[in-house]
Chain A
Amino acid sequence: DQQVKQNSPSLSVQEGRISILNCDYTNSMFDYFLWYKKYPAEGPTFLISISSIKDKNEDGRFTVFLNKSAKHLSLHIVPSQPGDSAVYFCAANHAGGTSYGKLTFGQGTILTVHP
């Protein structure tokens, strides 16, 4: 069962504009959500996280929004830069018991930012 879904395989954006990457989840027990970025031939690197008790977290050009009732989160990148071109993964964590720290990932969205 795919508990974390990223339904858009790819997104193309012009440099300087906003990039919005979306993620849906089904498990209401998730209490932290994280976004990772992955360049070719590298491992995923952490970008930003949000607790399920918050609805927004901002870090520089990156903002994550959480809509808990809709089980939906999104990552906004403003302004987008060509160096942001990568695969973006949404991940979720349920802190209970031995599941703590085990992340469940979405399929990823390929972001391409054109100069």
Chain B
Amino acid sequence: DTGVSQDPRHKITKRGQNVTFRCDPISEHNRLYWYRQTLGQGPEFLTYFQNEAQLEKSRLLSDRFSAERPKGSFSTLEIQRTEQGDSAMYLCASSLARVNSGANVLTFGAGSRLTVL
């Protein structure tokens, strides 16, 4: 297993364009998370899935943001009508979550850096 893979690693786009990021989690993991990180800040939670079910999406930053995990494997994060404020690193993570099993350790990918011009 090669860990959590994210694609593309860097995306430069013009304001108003749509962008999509893909995440391939560790295959045995049942949970997949999306985080956003801006300069000088820690990762900020956006949404997460358990298998194919999106269990929380209230932190998605606006209705321009959406995430899917159609078959419970890979996931996509789409940003429509991008704005300059969307420029950030988008991190994907996965974990094997079990009830009463202690700290849920997330394994992160290297991230997809978005630059909106």
Query: CB within 8 Å of B: which residues of A?
Result: 4, 6, 9, 32-34, 36, 41-46, 49, 51, 89, 91, 93, 95, 98-108
Contact = CB atoms under 8 A, between A and B. Distances in A.
A43 B111 CA distance: 6
Interface of B: 4, 31, 33, 40-45, 48, 55-56, 91, 93, 95, 97, 102-111
A5 B43 CA distance: 13
A33 B93 CA distance: 17
A40 to B, nearest CB: 10
Contacts of A4: 42
A43 B108 CA distance: 5
Given A100-B97, A101-B97, A106-B42, A44 B55 contact: no
Contacts, number: 68
A100 to B, nearest CB: 6
B48 A101 contact: yes
22 contacts: A43-B109, A43-B111, A44-B43, A46-B105, A49-B105, A89-B43, A93-B103, A100-B97, A100-B104, A101-B33, A101-B97, A102-B33, A103-B43, A103-B45, A103-B106, A105-B42, A105-B44, A106-B42, A107-B40, A107-B41, A107-B42, A108-B40
B102 A44 contact: no
